[in-house]
Amino acid sequence: MNRRELFRTAAGLAGAIALGQADWAINRPRNTAIADLEARLALDPRRPQFHLLPQRNWMNDPNGPIYWKGQYHMFFQYNPDAAVWGDMHWAHAVSPDMVHWRHLPIALAPTPGGPDAAGCFSGTAVVDNGVVTVLYTGVVNSTLANATLNDGQHIFRESQCLATSIDPDLKTWKKLAAPVIAAPPPGLSITGFRDPSPWRSGEWWYLAVGSGNAHTGGDVLLYRSRDLRHWQYLHKLVSGEQSAKGAINPVANGDMWECPDFFPLGEKHVLIYSSRGGVHWQTGTLDKEAMRFHPEKTGILDYGAFYAAKTQLDQQGNRILWGWIPEQRPAAEYSAAGWAGMMSLPRVLRMQPDGGLGVAFSPAVHSLRTREHRLDPSQKIQSQLAGLFLPRATGEILAQLNCDHRAFSFSLIAKFPHKQQSQPIVEIAYDPSSRQIFADKKAVPIAWDRDNLLQLHIYVDGSVAEILLSGKAVYTKRFYYAGEDAPGIYVHLQAAGQILNSFRLWHLKAISPNRLTTG
Question: Per DSSP, what are the bridge partners of residue 125?
Answer: 134
Q: Does one domain contain both 229 and 283?
A: yes
Please, are residues 206 and 291 in contact by the beta-carbon 8 Å criterion? yes
At 414, the pLDDT band (50, 70, 90 cuts) reads: very high
In this predicted model, what pLDDT tens digit does every residue of 388-407 receive, in sequence order?
Answer: 999 999 999 999 999 988 99
Q: What DSSP line would sit under 191-251, residue for residue?
A: S--EEEEEEEETTEEEEEEEEEETTTEEEEEEEEESSSSS-EEEEEEEE----SS--SSTT
Share of the chain above pLDDT 70, in %: 93
Do 323 and 381 sit in the same domain of this protein?
A: no
Half-sphere exposure of 347 (CA within 13 A, CB side): 31
Dist. CA 133–CA 128, nearest whole Å: 7
Per-residue confidence (pLDDT) for residue 216, from 0 to 100: 85
Give the model confidence (pLDDT) of 277-295 as tens digits: 999 999 999 999 999 999 9
In a domain, 364, yes or no: no
| Region of poorest pLDDT, from 148-157, 229-238, 240-249, 379-388 | 240-249
Give the rounded distance of the alpha carbon of 74 from its chain centre: 12
In a domain, 165, yes or no: yes
Which secondary structure element, helix H or strand E, spans residue 146, and what is its range?
none
335 and 387 together in one domain: no
pLDDT of residue 215: 78
Query: Who wins on pLDDT, 240 or 15?
Result: 240
Q: Please indicate, yes or no, whether residues 125 and 208 belong to a single structural domain of this protein.
A: yes
Q: Which of 2-16, 443-457, 465-479 has the lowest mean pLDDT?
A: 2-16
Q: Report the alpha-carbon distance of residue 250 to residue 247 in Å, rounded.
A: 6
Give a yes or no: residue 514 inside a domain. Answer: no
Residues 333 and 421 in one domain: no
pLDDT of residue 9: 58
Whether 169 has a pLDDT exceeding 70, the answer reads yes
* 377 vs 427, more confident: 427
Q: How many CB atoms lie within 10 A of CB 373?
A: 15
Last-in-domain residue among 310, 341, 359: 359
Residue-level pLDDT at 56: 98
Mean pLDDT of the chain: 93
Higher pLDDT, 30 or 260: 260
Q: What is the pLDDT of residue 246?
A: 65
Q: Are residues 294 and 244 in the same domain?
A: yes
Q: Based on the domain organization, do 127 and 241 belong to the same domain? A: yes
Secondary element (H or E) of residue 265? strand 258-265
Closest C-alpha among 162, 175, 107, 114 to residue 140? 114
Q: Is 513 exposed, middle or buried (CB count within 10 Å of its CB: 0-12, 13-18, 19+)?
A: exposed
| Last residue of one domain, picked from the residues 295, 329, 359 | 359
Question: Mind listing the pLDDT tens digit for each residue in 24-77?
Answer: 334 555 688 888 999 999 999 999 999 999 999 999 999 999 999 999 999 999
Q: Does residue 516 lie within any of the structural domains?
A: no
The answer to whether residue 440 scores a pLDDT higher than 70 is: yes
Number of domains in the chain: 2
> Domain for residue 336, yes or no?
yes
Among the candidates 304, 328, 359, a domain finishes at 359
More confident residue, 23 or 399: 399
pLDDT more than 90, % of the chain: 85
Q: Would you please indicate which residues are annotated as catalytic (active-site) residues?
A: 61
Are 68 and 170 in contact, with CB atoms under 8 Å apart? Answer: yes
Shared domain check, 278 and 381: no
Domain that holds residue 377: 369-508
Q: What is the pLDDT of residue 22?
A: 33
Q: Which helix (H) or strand (E) holds 477?
A: strand 473-478
The pLDDT, as a whole number, for residue 25 is: 39
Whether residue 387 is found in the same domain as residue 302? no
Residue 433 belongs to a domain: yes
Residue 386 pLDDT? 92
CA 9 to chain centre: 19
Q: What does the buried/exposed string (b/e) look like for 274-313 if buried means 16 or more CB atoms within 10 Å of the residue's CB? A: bbbebbbbbbbebeeeeeebebeeeebbbbbbbbbbbbbe
Flag whether pLDDT at 3 surpasses 90.
no
pTM: 0.94
| Spatial separation of the C-alpha atoms in residues 321 and 301, rounded to whole Å | 10
Residues 66 and 166 in one domain: yes
Q: What is the CATH number of the domain that holds 440?
A: 2.60.120.560
Model pLDDT, residue 149: 97
Structural domain contains residue 517: no
Question: If you average pLDDT over residues 413-433, what whole number do you get?
Answer: 93
List, for residues 488-502, the tens digit of each pLDDT value.
999 999 998 889 999
Sign of the Cα torsion 492, 447, 303, 394 reads positive
- 32 and 166 assigned to the same domain: yes
Regarding whether 436 and 334 lie in a shared domain, the answer is: no
Is residue 125 included in any domain, yes or no?
A: yes
Residue 496: count of CB within 10 angstroms of its CB: 9
- Position 18 pLDDT exceeds 50: no
pLDDT band at 450; cut points 50, 70, 90: confident
pLDDT score recorded for residue 29: 54
The Cα 400–Cα 503 span in angstroms is: 7
Which CATH number characterizes residue 39's domain? 2.115.10.20
Is the pLDDT confidence value at 475 over 90?
yes
The mean pLDDT value for 461-483 works out to 98
